[in-house]
């Protein structure tokens, strides 16, 4: 399955700043597949070490993490010569072997001619627990579930993807393409971007099997809570995770702790939310009241929304019925439009906007997303259907700040009306490029 991260991995291989690479991402987003595919295409040989499935590998790093010694041990273990620049060494689920993780800094300092990539499902959690791991000794990348563009590639619609990527002005998309993209977007809302779910759909065209895959993934996440989270946080993490659908079902999607349980307080659940974020399972969007750059200086860390990692998983968590796919546009407005807003959050992060914000004004107006790029602020209103009468929030924002361009995401075609650009939901990769 083709993944966009391949281009980034190739750039890492050829970079003069190449260091051992840490690839982060939630469990089952395709990290192992992406790395093995990269090794097969661009290296002569591969050494693959999985520290969860082969716990004895940790003994190769015990007591002494000198790079020369580790290379010798790996050559004996795998029965092949490790050649600098020609062999890719993959340390998978490296969080299970702290010594292997710590060895990366010595490989950078003493043996950077070896190409090493480390991956792990809970690396974000683990790295936050390691105070001695030095900043600057490794490169980082992040792998998310398949974006909608990657989904088009996976389902053999690469020509549609290519068409979308070549758009450079806000003009109507031919109706035949627009309607086909909306049909594929419906499927993506239900299937999402988890590679196994996409693969099962491609192989079987059975949405019920897709839902079974989602349920298995969700179950594995909750097992991770019990296995890897601090014991005093397991219940709180589970409660926060299970509260995501009802949190998003509210008209105002700001995270409310009392929805977890009546007595819940922010200070009791802050660590649980941070754990889920570090595990890559949620996206946080922070409230701002003043859209100025740098935007992070104006956000309220105590007022935020929580979005799920994947719209397909969220549709299963929310028990969205399969019949919604058959309805004209019901799926997009189902669950009070929460799937649509979650989809936009997922796509924005997949396309490089890793910090999300939303704007409110005195509790009377709210713009769903505000993006900070190139020292400019871009507001984005999200509509779940085709009824897109401009709501008062975007009007209020315009009257107060008079931005050069206003943006809206909806099911309507790409268009420019005065200073308002309408982005079709399937074309979120174009935002805010066309707004500049």
Does residue 99 sit in the same domain as residue 171? no
With a CB cutoff of 8 Å and minimum separation 6, the contacts of 319 are none
CA-closest candidate to residue 149, choices 191, 193, 105: 193
Q: Judge whether 157 and 40 are in contact, CB under 8 Å.
A: no
Q: Judge whether 416 and 170 are in contact, CB under 8 Å.
A: yes
Quick one: 354 exposed, middle or buried, by C-beta within 10 A (0-12, 13-18, 19+)? Answer: exposed
* pLDDT for the residue numbered 362: 78
Q: Judge whether 414 and 169 are in contact, CB under 8 Å.
A: no
* pLDDT for the residue numbered 241: 97
Does residue 171 sit in the same domain as residue 72? no
The helix or strand, by DSSP H or E, that contains position 24, with its residue range, turns out to be: strand 21-24
Q: For 390, left (φ over 0), alpha (ψ -120 to 50), or beta? A: beta
| DSSP code at position 222 | H
* pLDDT for the residue numbered 384: 86
Partners of 410 in beta bridges: 424
Other C-beta atoms lying within 10 Å of the C-beta of residue 224: 18
Cis bond upstream, residue 424 (ω within 30): no
Does residue 194 sit in the same domain as residue 125? no
Rounded Cα distance between 165 and 149, Å, is: 9
Rounded Cα distance between 408 and 431, Å, is: 10
Does residue 222 sit in the same domain as residue 299? yes
Does residue 110 sit in the same domain as residue 184? no
Does residue 169 sit in the same domain as residue 265? yes
Does residue 138 sit in the same domain as residue 154? no
Rounded Cα distance between 224 and 240, Å, is: 14
Final residue of a domain: which of 107, 142, 177?
142
E strand map for 322-433: 356-361, 365-367, 369-373, 376-382, 406-410, 415-417, 420-424
Q: Which stretches within 79-114 are classed as H helix? A: 98-110
Does residue 130 sit in the same domain as residue 154? no
* pLDDT for the residue numbered 23: 96
* pLDDT for the residue numbered 121: 86
Does residue 364 sit in the same domain as residue 390? yes
Query: How many distinct helices (H) and strands (E) make up the chain?
Result: 17, 14
Q: Which domain holds residue 166?
A: 148-435
Cis bond upstream, residue 215 (ω within 30): no
Residue 13 is part of a domain; what is its CATH number?
3.40.50.300
Does residue 346 sit in the same domain as residue 209? yes
Does residue 99 sit in the same domain as residue 138? yes
Final residue of a domain: which of 121, 142, 163?
142
Does residue 234 sit in the same domain as residue 379? yes
Place of tokens 């993209």: 181
**Strand pairing class (21-24; 139-142):** parallel
Place of tokens 């650009």: 421
The total domain count for the chain is: 2
Rounded Cα distance between 278 and 299, Å, is: 20
Final residue of a domain: which of 97, 123, 142?
142
Place of tokens 């549609």: 160
Q: What pLDDT tens digit does each residue of the chain (436 aa) get?
A: 899 999 999 999 999 999 999 999 999 999 999 999 999 999 999 999 999 999 999 999 988 889 999 999 999 999 999 999 999 999 999 999 989 999 999 999 999 999 999 998 888 887 877 766 667 899 999 999 999 999 999 999 999 999 999 999 999 999 999 999 999 999 999 999 999 999 999 999 999 999 999 999 999 999 999 998 999 999 999 999 999 999 999 888 999 999 998 888 999 999 999 999 999 999 999 999 899 999 999 999 999 999 999 999 999 999 988 887 767 667 777 777 899 999 999 999 999 998 999 999 977 789 999 999 888 999 999 998 777 766 788 999 999 999 999 999 999 999 999 999 999 999 999 999 998 8
| DSSP code at position 16 | T
The two tokens of residue 360 are 């409110």
* pLDDT for the residue numbered 124: 83
DSSP string, 418-435: TTEEEEEGGGGGGTTGGG
């Amino acid at each position: 399955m083709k993944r966009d991260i391949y281009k980034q991995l190739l750039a890492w291989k050829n970079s003069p700043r190449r260091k051992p690479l840490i690839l982060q991402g939630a469990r089952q987003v395709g990290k192992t597949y992406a790395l093995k595919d990269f090794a097969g295409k661009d290296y002569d040989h591969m050494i693959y070490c999985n520290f969860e499935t082969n716990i004895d590998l940790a003994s190769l790093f015990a007591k002494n993490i000198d790079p020369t010694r580790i290379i010798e041990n790996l050559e004996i273990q795998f029965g092949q010569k490790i050649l600098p620049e020609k062999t890719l060494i993959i340390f998978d689920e490296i969080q299970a072997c702290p010594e292997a993780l710590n060895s990366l800094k010595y490989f950078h300092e003493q043996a950077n001619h070896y190409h090493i990539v480390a991956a792990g499902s809970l690396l974000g959690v683990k790295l936050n627990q390691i105070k001695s791991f030095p900043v600057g000794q490794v490169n980082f990348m992040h792998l998310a579930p398949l974006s909608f563009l990657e989904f088009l590639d996976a389902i053999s619609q690469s020509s549609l993807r290519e068409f979308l990527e070549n758009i450079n002005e806000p003009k109507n998309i031919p109706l035949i393409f627009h309607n086909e993209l909306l049909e594929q977007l419906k499927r993506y809302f239900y299937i999402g971007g988890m590679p196994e779910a996409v693969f099962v759909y491609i192989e079987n065209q059975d949405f019920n099997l897709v839902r079974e895959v989602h349920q298995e993934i969700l179950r594995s996440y909750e097992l991770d809570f019990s296995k890897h989270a601090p014991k005093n946080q397991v219940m709180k993490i589970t409660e926060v995770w299970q509260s995501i659908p009802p949190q998003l079902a509210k008209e105002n999607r700001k995270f409310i702790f009392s929805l977890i349980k009546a007595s819940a307080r922010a200070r009791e659940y802050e660590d649980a939310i941070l754990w889920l974020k570090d595990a890559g399972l949620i996206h946080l969007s922070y409230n701002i009241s003043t859209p100025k750059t740098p935007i992070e200086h104006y956000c309220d860390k105590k007022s935020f929304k929580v979005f799920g990692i994947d719209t397909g998983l969220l549709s299963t968590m929310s028990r969205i019925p399969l019949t919604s796919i058959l309805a004209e546009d019901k799926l997009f407005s189902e669950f009070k439009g929460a799937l649509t807003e979650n989809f936009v959050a997922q796509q924005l992060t997949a396309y490089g906007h890793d910090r999300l914000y939303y704007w409110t004004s005195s509790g009377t107006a709210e713009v769903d997303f505000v993006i900070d790029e190139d020292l400019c602020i871009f507001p984005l209103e999200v509509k779940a259907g085709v009824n897109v009468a401009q709501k008062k929030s975007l009007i209020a924002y315009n009257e107060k700040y008079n931005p050069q361009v206003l943006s809206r995401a909806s099911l309507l075609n790409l268009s420019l009306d005065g200073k308002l650009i309408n982005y079709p939901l399937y074309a979120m990769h174009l935002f805010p490029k066309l707004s500049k």
